[in-house]
Homo-oligomer: A and B are copies of this chain.
Amino acid sequence: MVQVKTDPRVVRTRKLIMDSFIKLSESKEFRDITVKDITTEAMINRATFYYHFEDIYDLLEKALSEVLLINLNSAEYEHKKLDEDVFNHLFKAVTDFQQSLSNRCHRGYEDTIAQIIRDQLEVVFNKMLKAQYGLEKEETLKTTAVMLSWGLYGASLEWKRNGTAAPEEFLKTATPFLLHGLQFDLQK
């Protein structure tokens, strides 16, 4: 976890770009937002944008990842056990995130967004699993994290599809089963 100190200008500029993008995406659809729009809003040069991001899709990924990560980290899961409570919190964070997106009109980019969500979930699961079951094989934990992230994401889609119950209630029946199975497998 060695953080090489990054140039303050970089931090400032990336924040300017991200904030401008998020602000613009509240009033425009993603496909109507140009690089020029963003750089004008952020008061930076267009070339500087390309210094930090491949293109506007790259920005979409990184911006959404950051927003989602803030949601996910709000409870500092790293110091907690991976129990039913944490699971439900993560689920709530994901559904909240998707809710906020549907207000911001990113239609046509569901696949990209889905992948972002799973990636970020995988990161969180990985951290927690390593902290809790650090003695297990790296591969085992990684694969477990992958499955958990896909599972949680799938559940969020299922919840959206027939969105009757509150997110807090939705998983109540499934989590205990999943977690006990999980602990059985890993602690063997």
Contacts and interface: CB of A to CB of B under 8 A. Distances in A.
Interface of A: 8, 11-12, 43-45
A8 B44 CA distance: 7
A44 B45 CA distance: 19
Copies of this chain assembled into the complex: 2
Closest 5 pairs between A and B when the two form their complex, measured CB to CB: A8-B43, A12-B43, A8-B44, A8-B45, A11-B43
5 contacts: A8-B43, A8-B44, A8-B45, A11-B43, A12-B43
Contacts of A8: 43-45
Contacts of A12: 43
Nearest to A8: B43
A38 to B, nearest CB: 15
A8 B45 CA distance: 9
A46 to B, nearest CB: 12
A18 to B, nearest CB: 16
A8 B8 CA distance: 17
Contacts of A43: 8, 11-12
Contacts of A44: 8
Nearest to A45: B8
Nearest to A11: B43
Nearest to A44: B8
A44 B13 CA distance: 12
Contacts of A45: 8
Nearest to A16: B12
A54 to B, nearest CB: 23
A113 to B, nearest CB: 31
A64 to B, nearest CB: 25
A11 to B, nearest CB: 8
